[in-house]
Amino acid sequence: MSEGERPQRQRVVLAHRRGARMVRTRIEVQEQTQVGDALVRGLVRAQLGLALRLGAVVVFAVAGIVVLNRAAPDLMVFGMRLNWLLLAVLAYPLLYGVGRLYVRLAEQGEKDFVRVVDSEP
């Protein structure tokens, strides 16, 4: 903690009301009640949507590379042929970047899900 900062004020209450609720919503997910099932469906839909969107980015990029290589086979960029630059060098950072973004967003989605399940209604 740096010098200028003070510890944040905390409200102290007698009992944590969250505990009881948390167990109840968790059980709803575990026992597959209507509420629990709806929550899981929402999670699956969100994660699938995320994966499909990022998958589409890669598909468009790949289609773009194929089309570009056919349309301009002799284009030079930075002293290298564009087709070699794209496929031998730039494709890999693209794949890693998309993967990294996915891991971040998917973990975020899961955190949100756990928060909804554990939160007060």
**Where are the strands (E) in 1-104, listed by range?**
76-77, 80-81
For the bound state, the minimum distance from the C-beta of residue 91 to other proteins, rounded and expressed in Å, comes to 5
The Cα–Cα gap between 67 and 70 comes to: 5
Look up residue 59 and give its two tokens.
């598909």
Measured CA to CA, the distance from residue 13 to residue 23 in angstroms comes to 20
Is residue 58 part of the contact set for other proteins (CB under 8 A)? Answer: yes
Span from 1-9, 10-18, 83-91 in contact with other proteins (CB under 8 A): 83-91
**Nearest-approach distance from CB 111 to other proteins, in angstroms:** 8
The one among 37, 60, 64, 108 contacting other proteins by CB under 8 A: 37
